[in-house]
A and B are shown apart, each in its own frame.
Chain A
Amino acid sequence: MNNKGSILADMTQFIPRFIFLVIAVVCLVVFIKGFIVVNVNVQDAEEMVLTNRLLFSPTAISYEDEFRSYPGTIDLPRFTSEHLEKSTSYTNSNTFAMKLELLKTNGKDPYPNSNTAYLHQTTYDKLEPLARTKLPGSGSAKLYERRMYVTVKGENRYQQAVLKITTVIANS
């Protein structure tokens, strides 16, 4: 009876030791896992490349004559969602989206006779509210906003404007 009681007392005393062992092992595993990088996060680079692609590509929104394209000069007839989808077509449109707006030089009022152009509008409507929450995690998204001065080529006339590009990229 005494031996049984002694073993029981020992077992009770070993519970804190066992908990300490588990904590030490968990710390060790977390420490080792911290050094192992498998995922590569390229969201920032992806946003930059996509923006530059829309601005510089001869088939995107830039004005192009028979000789060359003019980065920084927006061809107004090309500034449509349909044209964007045609010039930058992804097999999976659920991972990112872009919204392009032309504004007057004050940066607030919309540029006359211009539409808001979207790349993957459905995805944009889905991801933008999530990105605004700034919540981390794979279910959310990251939002980037850029404004730049551009020249808009309308019908036989050039005008200054502000191009606002909002990009949302899903966290993965």
Chain B
Amino acid sequence: MFIYAGAEERRVNSSRGKRGDVTAEQLFLMFEVLLAIIIFLSLMNFVVSLKDNTLFEKNYLARDLALLTDTVYAAPEQLSYTYTENVDRFGMNIKDGKVSIFDEPEWKTDQGRTATFFLYGKDADQQLEPFNRNPFTTSSPEKKNLLYQKQGTTVAISEVKNP
């Protein structure tokens, strides 16, 4: 009500030809419009950047594979399991109790800028053969799945062709 009364007053003032009042009104309006445009553009920029952001997928894959590795360790007998999630876009390194997922060819170490990792528990009496997959150096058009195999006290991870 207060704002409306003020606006009404300003409109009356401007109709009387007081140029200073009109300029102040326009100035504030321009400021608001400019602020709205800046906020809208920065939000749009933020939302568009999310399209290419793979952080969620990397987080998901790291956790999923680490928990899967724990589960395979827990198997009381021999086991063969095909992991059917799409991992073609990502490189991965599974060794020393850590699953690291990366999506850049420049990835060098676990401390790399884009690597995401999650931990699994090693077992002194069961050996996991280190697994490294880097699709950026050896590109293959074939889609591949991960195959977990446990035989005796040895756990091995390999790539198999997607059926």
Contact = CB atoms under 8 A, between A and B. Distances in A.
Interface of A: 3, 6-7, 9-11, 13-14, 16-18, 21, 25, 28-29, 32, 36-40, 42, 45-46, 49-50, 52-53, 55-60, 62, 68-69, 71, 86-92, 95
A68 B32 contact: no
A56 B74 contact: yes
A69 B76 contact: yes
B48 interface: no
18 contacts: A3-B20, A6-B24, A13-B2, A13-B3, A13-B7, A17-B32, A21-B32, A36-B50, A40-B59, A40-B60, A49-B67, A49-B71, A56-B76, A57-B126, A59-B126, A86-B125, A87-B125, A89-B122
Contacts, number: 115
A14 B126 CA distance: 70
Main secondary structure of the interface of B (DSSP, over half): helix
A68 B96 CA distance: 27
Nearest to B47: A32
A9 B6 CA distance: 9
B13 interface: yes
Interface string B129-141: 0000000000000
A143 B69 CA distance: 23
Given A13-B6, A52-B74, A56-B74, A7 B124 contact: no
A59 B125 contact: yes
Contacts of B35: 21
A55 B46 CA distance: 46
B39 interface: yes
Contacts of B60: 40
Nearest to A58: B76
Given A10-B6, A62-B76, A90-B97, 14 more contacts: A3-B18, A3-B20, A10-B21, A10-B24, A29-B43, A46-B67, A49-B67, A49-B71, A57-B74, A68-B77, A89-B121, A89-B124, A90-B119, A92-B119
Interface string B7-34: 1001001000010110011001000100
Nearest to A71: B76
A88 B76 contact: no
B76 A91 contact: no
Contacts of B13: 6
Contact of B59 (A16, A25, A38, A55): A38
Contacts of A38: 55-56, 59
Nearest to A53: B74
A102 B109 CA distance: 43
Contacts of A9: 6
A53 B2 contact: no
Interface in B85-99: 96-98
A92 B110 CA distance: 14
A58 B59 CA distance: 30
Nearest to A22: B35
B102 interface: no
Contacts of B125: 59, 86-87
Nearest to B122: A89
